[in-house]
Amino acid sequence: MSSENKVFYHNLKKLLKETSSWPSKYIFKFIFSEDGDQSQIIKEIFSNSSAEFIVKLSKNGKYISLSVSLIVENPDYIIKKYEEVSEKTENVILL
């Protein structure tokens, strides 16, 4: 993992701890330009949870937004899932 990513995840974890109580509902959002296997890979990453998935196409149909909503125990789980998606997919924007 690059040092830039480490800083990003550190700051995200700090922000989550400061602004939320745990456990809490969290919505992960991922955007990508080609479906390919990206949706399936992300859904598999969350398959052992009670996640709800919402898929939306952009107005012009070039981009796909995948929202994953679930109750998480702590910020570490969120960071872990973002890292896993980042490692297993390509060209996915993590929001």
Superfamily of domain 3-94 in the CATH hierarchy: ACT domain (3.30.70.260)
Cα–Cα distance measured from residue 84 to residue 92, given in angstroms and rounded to the nearest whole number: 12
Q: Is the pLDDT of residue 56 over 80?
A: yes
Mean pLDDT of the chain: 91
* Residues 38-66, mean pLDDT to the nearest whole number: 93
- Reduced DSSP (H G I as helix, E B as strand, rest coil) percent helix, strand, coil of the chain, to 5: 40, 30, 30
**DSSP run (H or E) holding 88:** helix 75-88
> What was the pLDDT predicted at 20?
92
* Residues 66-78, mean pLDDT to the nearest whole number: 96
Q: How many CB atoms lie within 10 A of CB 59?
A: 7
Q: Is the pLDDT of residue 37 over 90?
A: no
* Residues 31-55, mean pLDDT to the nearest whole number: 90
